[in-house]
Structure 1
Amino acid sequence: MKNSVKLIMLLFISIIVINCKQEDKSPSYHKGDLTILTDESFKSVTEALAEGYMINYPETKIKVVTKKEDLGFLDLLQDKARIAVMSKELNPEEIKAYEEQVDLKFLPAKFAADAVIFIVPKNSPKNSITMDEIKNGLASESKEFIFDGANSSNLNFVAQKLKKEPKDLKFSVLPGSKNIIEELNKFPGKIGVIGLNTFSRPYDKTSEQLRDLVKILPVENKGVLYNPDSFALREMKYPFTRVLYFLTNEGNFNIANGFIRYSCTQLGQMIVQKEGLQPYNIYRREVQMR
């Protein structure tokens, strides 16, 4: 009789242990570790969203790793990361590779409107730039435009906008957008090309200091000047407005998809707005007056 009771107890304990192990392995959006790959150009907004998510879900730990856009996409395909932040439009071959290797439908989760901007030192006499100047300058051996490197989101996006391949453009390189801002005055006549999110935080001290070093050139298109302000981004009027989106290889509702959902809801979109970017999902605020 005692042996039978012991056997039943052992079976009961075994079932509890097995169920606990299964529960630990089950998908969870509110606990666990996540690495997000992002181009340096939109690192600031990615970090802000990650901080917001960790505050809401204290059992999560999110690490934001800077990687050139093209290389981040390759890492996602090779399952070296679960989520990447992108801005360029993938071509049919890239979409096919994503769907075949990740085994998911290509569904970009759009969360913000950012911009590629053209900057000159504060004391430069130049006050605007035309689309023709940009096209001609990027075909010139003078290499007057300075990018933050090959494979970067800024170069990819400008090339796409001009309907060119990045390898066909002629440009100079300084590693890092912050470096371009700080060193630009050492290269007279050169024009820096960076992402708006590099210094878009309205009340951030570091952003203010960087903004004070340069001026943003409005872009003239068909006789009209466009600044990368909130209206021009919202209406996609500024010629180099780009939409930021998440890609994941996670097929269930785990921490990566939880983070994506959070970023696209009202809380996440408020963070995007505080970053000085245009939220992609606009939520109407209703006030009842009594």
Structure 2
Amino acid sequence: MKNSAKIIMLFFLSIIATACKKEEKSPSYHKGEMTILTDESFKSVTEALAEGYMINYPETKIKVVTKKEDLGFLDLLKDKAKIIVMSRDLSAEEIKSYEEQVDLKFLPAKFAADAVIFVVPKDSPRESISIEEITQGMQSDDKAFIFDGANSSNLNFIAQKLKKQPKELKFSIIPGSKNVIEDLNKYPGKIGVIGLNTFSRPYDKESEKLKSMVKILPVEYKGKQYTADAGNLRTMNYPFTRVLYFLTNEGNFNLANGFIRYSCTQLGQMIVEKEGLQPYNIYRREVQMR
């Protein structure tokens, strides 16, 4: 009788142990480690969202790694990354590759409106730039436009807007957006092309320092000039407004999808706004007067 009781007890303990092991391996959005790949141009907002998520879920550890947009996309397809940040539109062929290799429907999680901006040194006489000047300049042997690198999100986005392939355009390179800003005055007549999020964070000392070194050029389009401010990002009137979105290969509700949900809901969108960017999902605030 005692032996039978022991056998029954061991049987139940084995069931509990197995259940615990399964529970440990089950998907969880509130604990675990993850790496996010992002282009340098929107590293700041990605890091801010990651910090916010880790504060809300202390058992999570999120590392933000900078990688050129196209290379990050390839890593996602090869399952070398679980989540990436993108800004350009994928081609029909790229969407097909994503859906076939990842085995998920292409559903970009849009979370912010950013912009590609054109900057010159503070003492430059130039006050604006037109779409025509950009189009012509990107096909000129003068290579007047300086980008932060080949395969960068800024170059990809400009090429897409001009309906060209990056290899068809002519440009100069200074690696890194910060270096573009700091070294721009060494190249008279050149125009830097960077992402707004490089220095959009208000009250941040480094952002303010970088922003003070250059003049942001309004873009002239159809006889009107547009600045990359919140209003023009919201309406997308600024010609080089771009929408940032997350892409994942995670099929269940684990850390990547938990982070995406957080970023697209009110808490995450407040962080986007504090970064000086335009939240993609706008939440109306209701106030009751008594």
Which bin holds the TM-score, normalised by the shorter protein?
A: over 0.9
In structure 2, give the amino acid aligned to 1:37. Answer: L
Partner of 2:43: 43
Note the alpha carbon deviations across 1:200-242, whole angstroms, 9 max, x for none: 0111110000000001000001110000000000000000000
RMSD, aligned α-carbons:
0.5
Q: How does 1:24-103 map to 2 (within 5 A)?
A: 24-103=24-103
Partner of 2:242: 242
Unaligned residue ranges in structure 1 (runs of 5+): none
Matched, 1:255 2:255: yes
Question: 2:210, 2:252 → 1: CA distance?
Answer: 41
Q: How does 1:1-290 map to 2 (within 5 A)?
A: 1-290=1-290
SS at match of 2:164: coil
Identity %: 80
| Shift of residue 9, structure 1, vs aligned partner | 1.5
| Shift of residue 110, structure 1, vs aligned partner | 0.3
In structure 2, give the amino acid aligned to 1:275. Answer: E
Count of residue pairs brought into register by the alignment: 290
Note the alpha carbon deviations across 1:179-214, whole angstroms, 9 max, x for none: 100010011110000000000011111000000000
| Shift of residue 5, structure 1, vs aligned partner | 1.7
| Shift of residue 6, structure 1, vs aligned partner | 1.7
In structure 2, give the amino acid aligned to 1:38. Answer: T
Question: 1:182, 1:149 → 2: CA distance?
Answer: 15
Question: 2:34, 2:88 → 1: CA distance?
Answer: 23
In structure 1, give the amino acid aligned to 2:87. Answer: S
State the TM-score, normalizing by the size of structure 2. Answer: 0.99
* Moved >6 Å (runs of 4+): none
| Shift of residue 265, structure 1, vs aligned partner | 0.3
Unaligned residue ranges in structure 2 (runs of 5+): none
Question: 1:273, 1:100 → 2: CA distance?
Answer: 35
In structure 2, give the amino acid aligned to 1:162. Answer: L
SS at match of 2:127: coil
SS at match of 2:285: coil
| Shift of residue 13, structure 1, vs aligned partner | 1.1
| Shift of residue 2, structure 1, vs aligned partner | 2.2
